[in-house]
Amino acid sequence: LTQDDMKRKAAWTALDYIPRHTIVGVGTGSTVNHFIDALASIKEDIEGAVSSSEQSTERLKALGIPVLDLNSIDSFAVYVDGADEINPDRHMIKGGGAALTREKIVAAVAETFICIVDESKEVPVLGHFPLPVEVIPMASSYVARELNKIGGRAVLRQGVVTDNGNQILDVHDLEIQHPIQLEAQINNIVGVVTNGIFAARAADIVLVGSQQGTKVYK
C-alpha cells in the first residue's frame, strides 16, 4: 500500500463514525480530501459541513455538500481532520497545510475529534515535524526571537499568507515532552494567533491507515 492508499483507508473508515442527519466538521489536507470524497457518498444523509479552510470549502461545494457558517451552530457531533504528527496521548502537531487557526476553532466546537492519518504520522514524541505557529505579520520577527529563546529555530514560511491574512513560522528542533504546557506557553507570546500543538483539545479517536488495514485507538 502507498502512503496515499493508507490515507484513503483511514478517511473512508471515518464514515463509520459519522452519525446520520448531523453537521460534520471538516479539516484540511490530502487525507481530509479523501474524507470529503467519502462524505460526498453519504451527502444525502448529512445536514451539511463546517469547513476549516477555503481549500476544503471549495472541494465540499464542488461535490454538492452544503457548507454552513460556524456562527449559526452552537454544537455539532464530529470533526474529522488529519495531522502532521500524533503521539500516544493523541496530542497532535498540525498546520502543515497552514489552516491551523480555523482547524483549531472548528475542533473546539465539535463534541468528538476524529483524527485520520497514515502510519507515518505516529510518533513517540512530537517535534520532529517543524511546529507551525500562525503570527500577526508585524510581530513575526519578535515571535521568532521568543521561540528561539525557548529552544526552537523559527523559520518564516515563504510565500504563504493564511486564510486569515497572517504568516506562519515553522519552528524546528523542538522535542515536545510536555505538549499541553508548551501549547499554553506559546499562546502567551504576544503576536501569536495560533500554534500547531493540538493538546489541550486532543483527538478523541484516531484512525490509522497502515499496511495491515485501519487501526483504531481512543
Distance CA 25, CA 41 (A): 16
Out of 27, 127, 130, 179, point to the residue binding ligand DER (CB under 6 A).
27
CA 177-201-22 angle, 5° bins: 150
Q: What is the smallest separation between the CB atom of 86 and ligand DER, expressed in angstroms?
A: 9
Among 25, 26, 31, 39, binds ligand DER (CB under 6 A): 31
Is there a catalytic annotation at residue 103? yes
Q: Check whether 30 is labelled as a binding-site residue.
A: yes
The answer to whether residues 121 and 88 touch, using CB atoms and an 8 Å cutoff, is no
Cell readout for 8 is 484513503
As to burial, measured by CB atoms within 10 angstroms (0-12 exposed, 13-18 middle, 19+ buried), residue 218 is exposed
Distance separating the N- and C-terminal Cα atoms of the chain: 24
* Residue 8 makes contact with ligand DER by CB under 6 A: no
Residues 66-95 interacting with ligand DER (rule: CB under 6 A): 81-84, 94-95
Query: Least distance (Å) from ligand DER to the CB of residue 85?
Result: 8
**Active-site residue, from 85, 103, 146, 183:** 103
Report the candidate in 116, 40, 41, 44 with the shortest Cα–Cα distance to residue 78: 116
Q: Provide the grid cell at 187.
A: 499562546
Q: How far is the CB of 44 from ligand DER (least distance, A)?
A: 26
When the beta carbons of 25 and 27 are compared against ligand DER, the nearer one is 27
183 binds ligand DER (CB under 6 A): no
Q: Does 25 bind ligand DER (CB under 6 A)?
A: no
Ligand-binding site membership of 29 (annotated):
yes
Dihedral of the CA atoms 100, 101, 105, 107 (nearest 10)? Answer: 10
Binding site for ligand DER (CB under 6 A): 27-31, 81-84, 94-97, 99-100, 103
**Residues annotated as part of the active site:** 103
| Residues placed in the known binding site for substrate | 28-31, 81-84, 94-97, 121
